[in-house]
Structures are given as C-alpha cells and as structure tokens.
Chains A and B, each alone.
Chain A
Amino acid sequence: MNKKNRIEISIDQKKLTAFEGQTILEVADAYGIEIPTLCSHPDLTIKASCRVCCVEILGKEAFAPACSTKVENGMEIITLSPDLRRAREINLELIFAQHCQKCPDCIWQFNCQLLNLARKFEIRINKFTDRKIAYPTYQFGPAITFDSSKCIDCRNCVEVCEKQNVKFLEVKERGHLFQVVPSRSEERDCIYCGQCVVHCPVGALEAVGEFEEVEKPLWEQGKTVVFQFAPSVRSSIGEEFGLPYGTVVTEKLTAALRKLGADRVFDVGVGADFTTVEEAKELLERLESQKNLPMFTSCCPAWVRYVEFFHPELIPNLTTTRSPHIILGGLIKTYWAEKESVDPEKIVVVSIMPCTAKKYEIKREELKINGLRPVDHVLTTRELAYLLIKHKIDLKTIPPEPPDYPLGSSSGAGLIYGASGGVMESALRTAFEKLTGRKLPRIEFEEVRGLQEVKKASIKIGQHQLSLAVVNGTGNAETIINQLKSNPREYDYIEVMACFGGCIGGGGQPVPTNAKIRRARAKALYQADAAKEIRQAHKNPEVVEAYQKYLTTKEKISQVCLTKFFPKEKEN
C-alpha cells in the first residue's frame, strides 16, 4: 500500500520503522504510543496551534509539534520528559484560562478532550483568571449556540465552515486579540449544519438544547408523547454508552425511550420510505416532462437552506418531497391520531436526530398541517444520550424492545438514508421497479456508496440513461453547481447532504466524529439493510397500508408529504 521509503527512527529509545512522509504523531499512533493532542482533527488541515503535542527531537533546540513534524531517518524522539511535561502543563493552563469552564452544565463533560487532559496533567485550572468571562454567547437561528467564552481559538470551526463554503464564522480582531465571531456580512449566513459543533474540541459550539421542553410533557397529564428516531442514530448513540463504533441499537434505543416516558416509539426509517416513494414518483414525472432537471434531494435542511440563501435560482430543482421525520410526524398527527382517536393537539412529537439543522426545519411555517407542526421538538443524538444518562437509563444493559406498530418498521432502504448515497439508492430501488414494472436484478447500487466527497454514476432505468451525482458537504455541492453553469444537463439527479459522510457524520452526532468512525457507522447501516427481508420502500407493508387507508387523495398526499421553498434573507 505504502510505496514510500522505510526509515528508521526511535521514540523514547525504542527503535521503530516508519515511512517517509509520516508525521511523528502518525508513527506514534501506529505503535500505540500516546501523545496528547487537542487542536488536531483528522478531517481538517494540521493547525499545530495548541502546542500540547510537542515532543523533543535530539539535537533540536525548540520542541516540535508531533502533529506537523515529519519523521526523518535517524530521528530520535522523546515524548516524555520533565521539560515536556512542564511545557504541556503550562500550555494547558493557558488554554484553560481562556475557556470559562461550565462543566456541570456542559453536555460534553464526558467527552471533553480538554477536561480529560486537564485531569491527566493535574493542571491548576485557575492559575490565571478567566480572560473571556465577558465574552458573549451567540445563537444561530433555533439551532446552534456559540458560547465564545469557552472558545480556545483553535479555529477548527472556521475552517469547517469555510469548507462548507458558508464562511459564516470568521476570525476578527477585537482590541489586542483576534476572536472567532459570526459574520456580519449580508452575503453570509449560517445553514445550521452543525459541522462546527462536531469539530470543536471544547463544546463552545453546541446545539440549542430543548431539554425542558421535551421533559415537561413526559410527566404532564393528557399529553401523548411520541418519539421517533432517525436512521443514523441507531448506529451512533451506542458510542455514548461505551459500545463499539458501528453498533446498531434500534431496539435498545426503543426500550430506553419508553423508559424515559414515551407513549409510542416510531422509526423515522418508515418516514424515509414515504419520502422515497414520493421522491421516486417526482423523479419519474420530471424525467417524463423534462422539467426542473436535474432534481436535487431536499431531505437535508442545511442543504435546503444553502440553496435558499446562496442559490435561490435552484429552488425549482429541489424535490418538493418532505424529509422523513416531517412526513412521519405529519402522519402521526393525522393518520395515526385518527386511527387511535387521539386529539392531534395533545400529541407531542419529538424527533431524535443526528442533526442540528432539523431544529430549524421543524420551525418552518409551510410544514404546518391544520395549524400544527408535524414535529414539536428535536433532540440530537448527543442530547438524547445526555438525557438518558441524566435519568440513569443505560442503553448498554437495557433489554431490547421493538418499536410500535404501524409506523415502527422500516424497509432496508429507509435505514441507509443515514449515509451519503442512501437517499439516492433508495429512490433508485423504487424508481426502477415503478418505471420498468420489472423486479430489480440487483438491489445494491454500489456506485453511489462510500464516503467519498463526490460520487458519480450512470444508470439505465427503462429507456432513461440517468446521470447521477452524490455529494456530501455543501462546499462540494458548490463545485457541482458550478459545473451545472457550463452544462445544465450534466446530471439528472443529485443527492446532497450537508454533513461529511451524510447524517452519520451529522452535526448532532457523538464526538469524536471522524472518517474512521463515520465509516463504521455507515457500514452498520448497510449491514442492517442487508439483514432486512424487505429492502424497497414501496414494498414496506406499513407504507402500503398507509397509502390504502389514509394517503388516498392528492390533497392528503400533498398536505403530509410535499412542501415548498422560498428564497431566504440573512437571519443571523
């Protein structure tokens, strides 16, 4: 695999083989030698700014950061010495003095890299006064809070926001010092993707928690609280309870939600099946009429906001199909409410999502059905874990229970929505059969799988040769949008997810989140799909039944399953 030259180095007097081009940190990692790090994130460029990973190199006067220094033949490296310990301690003390610690209230307290290092090095947390005590907290829409008094200036969020091509977070000079601040420019606004959140090492950026709003109806009389959880949450929330990456916990999660007080627990995967059926229908219509092509997916609200704010000219190209949890929420308050004779006004729908942008999506007025929002609250994966831990519910040990009928059992296609390429694959599985009337020869569309930033494929469905693109990250979407400027019909159907790797890497997911972890979470979803008997959305009996019993007219379908988009002004 690695054709680079082998070289000999030593770390802490141990002779080791390394490859030219590797950093000291990479070599140390490979040999299980622990070097503390803080600002480094494998998704991002090496910043080398926290200076916590410094090591000694024989013959060099200054210490070298392990994250950025490449190994050289014969290099003798020391990772532990009294001087290094002293330097790391002082730097950590300095970092802690710019981070107003509010640990008891912080939902990162169990995963906080900084706190862990502080404990490990037994630093004096209060050697210096908190210099950011008066720094403000910003809120971006209903989705994200940024407590700048916790910010340690690593600038990971700035890089990530720039990578998203949003550039809403900026480094600006205030007084003697530079700070991270939201942009005042009219041309820039947050799309609520939350990628800044999962790349912040200290929890300065977080989702807007809705804990009280969710907890209150749980003990209030007369409320029916329905929880629904997104496809990707089942393969990530286990991490918060010490389960290995990529453990699927659908039924344990259901049990935990019931224990928390849920009256019903449904699976957003079923919502995804409805989205697929409607979206496949719309794709076929557009291919037929050759209008508003290419069609873009619209189940990612951060991507939708990206279009509405930065590219309103593309609004007609977004599929008008609602996102899975919005459809399911709508069905809960109509179809299910009727069936169970529950007053829709008394139903509280809470979505457990991998996502911060969903907190914004549920507030969109045009989604209301008979004056009611389909979904009342969104908790991120992290937030639910925090709530469960607070209520002493251990996901690891709780006995599994299946979700409720009739909106609790999804097809395999619904599950893969959580990974980049999943929406497209689900739609293709359904569109193919709808158009050709034939059975799919091969259910897997490998071409659109994987976590690459941009995937392209060409697939024949009936007489249509479809040209497809699957993108994750809005920065990569921008590249595709630019391509369309020169060739508007280069693609027929394009899936965009704002988060790296799709929702399994969403802004509401557990930290750390990185390529390795995203891969494990995605793999688990594809395995769960493969294990399902029914793997196509339109064959899900629960979906078939709902179309027979409730979604019988155009009006009803449009009320529950379709939506509109509007150009957006700056709101932050």
Chain B
Amino acid sequence: MILVTMAAQSIIEKLKASNLLGRGGAAYPTWQKWTAVKEAKADKKYIICNASEGEPGVYKDGFILENYPEELINGLKIALETIDHSRAYLYLRHGYYQRFKKNLEKLTRGLPITLFEKSGHYISGEETTVIATIEGKRQEPSLKPPFPTQAGLWGYPTLINNVETFYYVSKIEKDSYHQTRLYSVNGEVENGGVYELPLNWPIEKVLKETKNWPGFDFFVQAGGGAAGEILLPEELGQPIAGAGAIIVYHRQKTNPLTLMKKWAIFFMDGNCDKCVPCREGVFRIAEMLESEKVDRKIIDDLCFVLEKTSFCPLGRSTVIAFRSLTNKLLSCQYE
C-alpha cells in the first residue's frame, strides 16, 4: 500500500515538474487533473482516454495509435495504478476503432480497460459529452461544475485525458520526455505528416525544419483544425496552440469564403444544437456564406455571442477562425 502511494506521489510530482499540459486543446495542467481525481473520495473512479480526434487537419492521435500504442497503453496503466479503484475506457472515433481494435485488444488484455467506439459528431469529443456518450445519453455537453474530476462517468470522479497526453505520461515516467509535442502539418505542403518536435518552436521553424515552407504566397491555419487561427506568413514567429495542427493554404488559389463556409458546415454538423448562439449563430453564418452576401457587421454580432455566451468550448472556439479570417483575409477584398 505504502509503496503504491509513494509511486503515485512520484508520478504526480514528475508531471508537475515536467509542466505537461493537456494535449486535447484546452491545455490544462495534467498534474492538477490527476491530483483532483486521485484525492477525490469515492469507491469507484474512471479514467477515459479520449481518442475522438475529430477536426479536419488533426491526425496526431491516430499517429500515436498506429506507431506507439504500447506507450499509450503504458500511460493508461500508470493512471490505473495511480488512481485507486479505477477502471479505464479508451474512447475511439469510429475509424480508429476499426483500424486499431485488434491490436489494442491484444495490448489491453487482462487490464481493466474497455475499448469504446464513439458515435456521433465532433461534439462527442468534448469531455462532458464523452461521458454522456459512454453512459448512452443524448450527446450534448453538460453543465460544469460539477467537473468530471468531481462527478464524471456515472457520477464518479473521472480523469479524461487525450491520447497524446497519456503518451507523454508514459515518457515522463521513464524520464524520456524532452518538452516535445506532435504537429500535424498538412494542406499545400510537400512533406505533410505528423512530427514530434520541441514545444516552443515557432511555427515558421516547424515548417522550415520539416521542409514545408511554401515557395508561394500563403497563409496558415494554426491550432485546432477548423477552429484554428488564420496566420499570415509574417505572424509565424509564435509557437502553436491547441491541438497542434498547421494547415497551409495557397493565398491566391484559396477562396476565403469557400473555406469559411467549409468550417461553418463542419461546425453546424458537429455541434450539438443545444444552445442558441452555437446552433443559430453558426447556422446564420453558413447561410450567409451560402448566399455569398456577407455582412461583416452581422458576422461580428454573431461572433460576439458565440464567444461571450456559448454553452461549451466548441461554440467559443469557432470564433477564432471566423474572426481571424474575416479580419485578415476579407478586409482588403470586401470592405
């Protein structure tokens, strides 16, 4: 007993020292989540590994499942050992479930880990929606508090981390973590793919080192796929945020309105339609783009309520993309 506790203590200490932040997009300190669940008083606890990766342009979790599944399962094992009376779910998007089921079953044999095939849309990757999905409830986010760490799956304290987070937990435990992250580089690039590179590299450096710096006028969308921020070449001196996607677009060949419409439709399909700003706001943006009558004042209004009043992070996250695109790519053409 005492031994376990000491081991548990030491992994949380290590997580803290490593300053690992969640890699699902929200960048919450991992050690804090782990401590909260570990210290919660309950006779049952759950651990969920979120492999719902649902945004266009983000492939890093699939990359880990394909290339380093042992590392991932080891991360889960560490969590199971750290958090007493716990069981785990590996929550996989449909495609990943199909592709990796066999291998994952082999790797988790004898462990209290259940593979769960995700259904539904993008929203079902949001953490409270993940819980609702596993419980068989309607797929929509629920109010926080209580946070999953307090009352998550079936009301028990629940630790939800992304695939990449568990992957790094494993590395941290073995002292082989060197402040790296995974970048999904794609779009109009020569050498698209997933790269493991230092956390603090500017985007420009990532593109150059991976031999993906375009030879044409371009812009990128950086962060989390459709929700990423539009950045112009001169803005690439900063490190990346969110889920680590870098999508490169050809400035001349890309119609920004078409691009924005693509996102709007993605969000309209992917959201849960629960709250007004996200359901109606995104619908109205899509409608406007469809009719090609873009009223910047109205887009500004809609972004305002999406950002200020959305129920969950999904609604809020749409604004970064919409706003940065309208500000940076539409200003000259449409004003």
Inter-subunit contact B284/A94 (CB<8 Å)? yes
Inter-subunit contact B305/A94 (CB<8 Å)? yes
The residues in A between 135 and 189 inclusive whose CB is less than 8 angstroms from any CB of B are 153, 155, 171, 176-178
The residues in B between 273 and 329 inclusive whose CB is less than 8 angstroms from any CB of A are 273-277, 279-281, 283-284, 286-287, 298, 301-302, 304-305, 307-311, 316
- Distance in Å: Cβ of B35 to nearest Cβ of chain A: 21
Asked whether B272 is an interface residue with its Cβ less than 8 Å from the other chain, the reply is: yes
Bound-complex Cα distance A50 to B305 (A): 11
- B283 in complex: contacting residue of A51, A86, A91, A131, CB < 8 Å: A131
Taking each of B138, B273, B298, B310, which has the highest tally of chain A beta carbons within 10 Å of its own beta carbon?
Answer: B273
Asked whether B143 is an interface residue with its Cβ less than 8 Å from the other chain, the reply is: yes
- Distance in Å: Cβ of B321 to nearest Cβ of chain A: 17
Taking each of A46, A86, A177, which has the highest tally of chain B beta carbons within 10 Å of its own beta carbon?
Answer: A177
Inter-subunit contact B301/A90 (CB<8 Å)? yes
Asked whether B268 is an interface residue with its Cβ less than 8 Å from the other chain, the reply is: yes
Asked whether B40 is an interface residue with its Cβ less than 8 Å from the other chain, the reply is: no
Inter-subunit contact B276/A94 (CB<8 Å)? yes
Inter-subunit contact B309/A51 (CB<8 Å)? yes
- B277 in complex: contacting residue of A86, A91, A97, CB < 8 Å: A91
Asked whether B70 is an interface residue with its Cβ less than 8 Å from the other chain, the reply is: no
Bound-complex Cα distance A473 to B258 (A): 51
Inter-subunit contact B265/A62 (CB<8 Å)? no
Inter-subunit contact A176/B269 (CB<8 Å)? yes
Inter-subunit contact A177/B268 (CB<8 Å)? yes
Which residues does chain A contribute within 8 Å of B274, judged by CB atoms?
47, 49, 155
- A90 in complex: contacting residue of B272, B305, B310, B316, CB < 8 Å: B305
**Assuming A171-B138, A176-B268, is B280 touching A95 (CB within 8 A)?**
yes
Asked whether B145 is an interface residue with its Cβ less than 8 Å from the other chain, the reply is: yes
Inter-subunit contact A49/B305 (CB<8 Å)? no
Which residues does chain B contribute within 8 Å of A101, judged by CB atoms?
none
Q: Mark A33-53, 1 if CB is under 8 A from B, else 0.
A: 000000000000011111110
- A54 in complex: contacting residue of B268, B281, B284, B309, CB < 8 Å: B309
Which residues does chain A contribute within 8 Å of B316, judged by CB atoms?
62
Bound-complex Cα distance A153 to B284 (A): 16
Q: Specify the chain A residue showing the minimal Cβ separation from B316.
A: A62
**Assuming A49-B275, A177-B273, is B304 touching A91 (CB within 8 A)?**
no
- Distance in Å: Cβ of A539 to nearest Cβ of chain B: 53
Inter-subunit contact B304/A90 (CB<8 Å)? yes
Q: Specify the chain A residue showing the minimal Cβ separation from B301.
A: A90
Asked whether A523 is an interface residue with its Cβ less than 8 Å from the other chain, the reply is: no
- B279 in complex: contacting residue of A68, A87, A177, CB < 8 Å: A177
Inter-subunit contact B145/A97 (CB<8 Å)? no
Inter-subunit contact A50/B276 (CB<8 Å)? yes
Asked whether A363 is an interface residue with its Cβ less than 8 Å from the other chain, the reply is: no
Inter-subunit contact A153/B273 (CB<8 Å)? yes
Bound-complex Cα distance A261 to B275 (A): 47
Which residues does chain A contribute within 8 Å of B275, judged by CB atoms?
48-51
**Assuming A62-B316, A86-B304, A95-B280, is B309 touching A178 (CB within 8 A)?**
no
Inter-subunit contact A46/B143 (CB<8 Å)? yes
Q: Tell me the dominant secondary structure on chain A's binding face.
A: loop
Asked whether A70 is an interface residue with its Cβ less than 8 Å from the other chain, the reply is: yes
- Distance in Å: Cβ of A515 to nearest Cβ of chain B: 21
Number of interface residues of B (CB under 8 A): 30
- A91 in complex: contacting residue of B143, B298, B305, CB < 8 Å: B305
- B302 in complex: contacting residue of A46, A90, A95, CB < 8 Å: A90
**Assuming A86-B304, A90-B304, A91-B305, is B311 touching A48 (CB within 8 A)?**
yes
Inter-subunit contact A94/B281 (CB<8 Å)? yes
Which residues does chain A contribute within 8 Å of B268, judged by CB atoms?
176-177
**Assuming A49-B276, A90-B304, A177-B268, is B145 touching A62 (CB within 8 A)?**
no
**Assuming A68-B143, A87-B308, A91-B309, is B276 touching A128 (CB within 8 A)?**
no
Asked whether A83 is an interface residue with its Cβ less than 8 Å from the other chain, the reply is: yes
Bound-complex Cα distance A51 to B283 (A): 16
Q: Size band of the A side of the interface?
A: 20 to 34
**Assuming A83-B308, A90-B302, is B276 touching A51 (CB within 8 A)?**
yes
Which residues does chain B contribute within 8 Å of A178, judged by CB atoms?
272-273
Taking each of B273, B280, B283, B305, which has the highest tally of chain A beta carbons within 10 Å of its own beta carbon?
Answer: B280
- A153 in complex: contacting residue of B279, B308, B309, B310, CB < 8 Å: B279
Q: Mark A206-218, 1 if CB is under 8 A from B, else 0.
A: 0000000000000
Which residues does chain B contribute within 8 Å of A83, judged by CB atoms?
308
Q: Mark A115-140, 1 if CB is under 8 A from B, else 0.
A: 00000000000011001000000000
Inter-subunit contact A62/B307 (CB<8 Å)? yes
Inter-subunit contact B276/A95 (CB<8 Å)? yes
- Distance in Å: Cβ of B60 to nearest Cβ of chain A: 28
Asked whether A409 is an interface residue with its Cβ less than 8 Å from the other chain, the reply is: no
**Assuming A62-B308, A131-B283, is B277 touching A51 (CB within 8 A)?**
yes
Asked whether A63 is an interface residue with its Cβ less than 8 Å from the other chain, the reply is: yes
Asked whether A476 is an interface residue with its Cβ less than 8 Å from the other chain, the reply is: no
Taking each of B145, B301, B308, which has the highest tally of chain A beta carbons within 10 Å of its own beta carbon?
Answer: B308
Q: Specify the chain A residue showing the minimal Cβ separation from B144.
A: A68
- A177 in complex: contacting residue of B145, B283, B298, CB < 8 Å: B283
Asked whether A98 is an interface residue with its Cβ less than 8 Å from the other chain, the reply is: yes
- Distance in Å: Cβ of B81 to nearest Cβ of chain A: 35
- A176 in complex: contacting residue of B265, B276, B307, B311, CB < 8 Å: B265
Inter-subunit contact B284/A62 (CB<8 Å)? no
Which residues does chain B contribute within 8 Å of A48, judged by CB atoms?
143, 275, 311
Which residues does chain B contribute within 8 Å of A177, judged by CB atoms?
268, 273, 279, 283
**Assuming A51-B275, A94-B276, is B309 touching A62 (CB within 8 A)?**
yes
Bound-complex Cα distance A128 to B295 (A): 12
Which residues does chain A contribute within 8 Å of B265, judged by CB atoms?
176
Inter-subunit contact A97/B309 (CB<8 Å)? no
Which residues does chain B contribute within 8 Å of A127, judged by CB atoms?
298
Q: Specify the chain B residue showing the minimal Cβ separation from A179.
A: B273
- Distance in Å: Cβ of A176 to nearest Cβ of chain B: 4
Which residues does chain B contribute within 8 Å of A131, judged by CB atoms?
283, 287
Which residues does chain A contribute within 8 Å of B311, judged by CB atoms?
48-49, 51
Which residues does chain B contribute within 8 Å of A97, judged by CB atoms?
280, 284
Taking each of B265, B283, B287, which has the highest tally of chain A beta carbons within 10 Å of its own beta carbon?
Answer: B283
Q: Specify the chain B residue showing the minimal Cβ separation from A91.
A: B276
- Distance in Å: Cβ of A143 to nearest Cβ of chain B: 26
Which residues does chain B contribute within 8 Å of A155, judged by CB atoms?
274
Bound-complex Cα distance A394 to B175 (A): 82
Inter-subunit contact A63/B138 (CB<8 Å)? no
Q: Specify the chain A residue showing the minimal Cβ separation from B121.
A: A173
Bound-complex Cα distance A97 to B284 (A): 10
The residues in A between 42 and 101 inclusive whose CB is less than 8 angstroms from any CB of B are 46-52, 54, 62-63, 65, 68, 70, 83, 86-87, 90-91, 94-95, 97-98
Inter-subunit contact A87/B284 (CB<8 Å)? no
Which residues does chain B contribute within 8 Å of A46, judged by CB atoms?
143
Bound-complex Cα distance A178 to B139 (A): 11
Which residues does chain B contribute within 8 Å of A65, judged by CB atoms?
309
Inter-subunit contact A70/B145 (CB<8 Å)? yes
Bound-complex Cα distance A49 to B140 (A): 11
- Distance in Å: Cβ of A35 to nearest Cβ of chain B: 14
Which residues does chain A contribute within 8 Å of B304, judged by CB atoms?
86-87, 90
Contact surface of A with B, Cβ cutoff 8 Å:
46-52, 54, 62-63, 65, 68, 70, 83, 86-87, 90-91, 94-95, 97-98, 127-128, 131, 153, 155, 171, 176-178
Q: List 25 A-B contacts (CB under 8 A).
A: A46-B143, A48-B143, A49-B274, A49-B276, A50-B275, A51-B310, A62-B309, A62-B316, A63-B309, A65-B309, A87-B308, A90-B277, A90-B302, A90-B305, A91-B305, A91-B309, A94-B276, A94-B277, A94-B280, A98-B280, A128-B287, A155-B274, A176-B269, A176-B286, A177-B268
Known interface pairs A51-B276, A62-B310; 14 further A-B residue pairs with C-beta atoms within 8 A, sorted by A's residue number = A49-B274, A51-B305, A51-B310, A54-B309, A62-B309, A62-B316, A65-B309, A87-B304, A87-B305, A90-B301, A128-B284, A153-B273, A153-B279, A176-B265
Question: Which 8 A-B residue pairings sit nearest by Cβ, starting from the closest?
Answer: A94-B280, A178-B273, A51-B309, A176-B268, A49-B275, A90-B305, A63-B308, A90-B301
